[in-house]
Amino acid sequence: MAREIVLDTETTGFEPHLGHKLVELACLEIEDYLPTGRSFHVYIDPERDMPPEAEKVHGLSAAFLRGKPKFRDKEIHQEFLDFVGDAPIIAHNATFDRTFVNYELEGLGLAGIPEERWIDTLALARKRFPGMHNSLDALCKRFKISLSEREKHGALIDARLLAAVYLELKGGRALTLELTTREMTAHAVAVAKAAAYGARPRPLPFRSTDAERELHAKFVREVVKSEELWGKFGL
């Protein structure tokens, strides 16, 4: 099965080289375009103030984030790397997320995640819908994906929305039908194999009465005058 990771981040701003930091990181695992239920999610203490314009976007205050884990904590960055593994990473406007994630990793002396492993849903959307608004919100509305749970941007909820958008960009309902058909076919084959295994260990009881069977035997003897077929079944 094809394993991929859907990733989203929230930050204090737009440019890590100017001191902006990650404050939330979320990853969802998907296999064959369907969520597996496995995820990685953490709030991160940026060890700096929160610009008001950034807080308006994601609602994460400096007070809320103070005391949360730091990305440099080994249990955070190592758990993130272990979760991602060598899978492709799906992000919306992937350059932004890749820049922040790699800046943090490289700051710890670790290798960044190479560009060829990132799949940019913004680029996919622009190719499919040239000249249109292709923000995550716009795509959700276009594909009729509910935004009811989302009041502000958040890495975890946005990753869930992005997973649904990615499915639509890769074929949507037709792809879901294809996957479902494949699963049903595999199930039917398994059932057929199980049904073909040997004779029934306990024969089913007769549903006819003794009197009915005697009448049938008499009919075979006197009318059909051959027990070659029917006789062997004891009917």
**Binding site, residues?**
8, 10, 53, 58, 158
Among 41, 153, 187, 216, the one annotated catalytic: 153
Residue 58: both structure tokens together: 């994601």
Sequence ranges of the binding site for substrate:
8, 10, 53, 58, 158
Rg (CA), the chain: 30
CA-based nearest residue to 88, from 137, 121, 43, 41:
121
Contact status, residue 159 vs residue 27, Cβ threshold 8 Å: yes
Whether residue 163 contacts residue 121, with contact meaning beta carbons closer than 8 Å, is answered with no
Contact 28, 159 (CB under 8 A): yes
Question: Any alpha helices (H) in 108-207, and if so which ranges?
Answer: 121-128, 136-142, 155-169, 172-195
- The yes-or-no answer on residue 153 being catalytic is yes
Q: Is the dihedral of CA 144, 148, 151, 156 positive or negative?
A: negative
| Residue stretches of the annotated binding site for a divalent metal cation | 8, 10, 158
Catalytic residue numbers, as ranges: 153
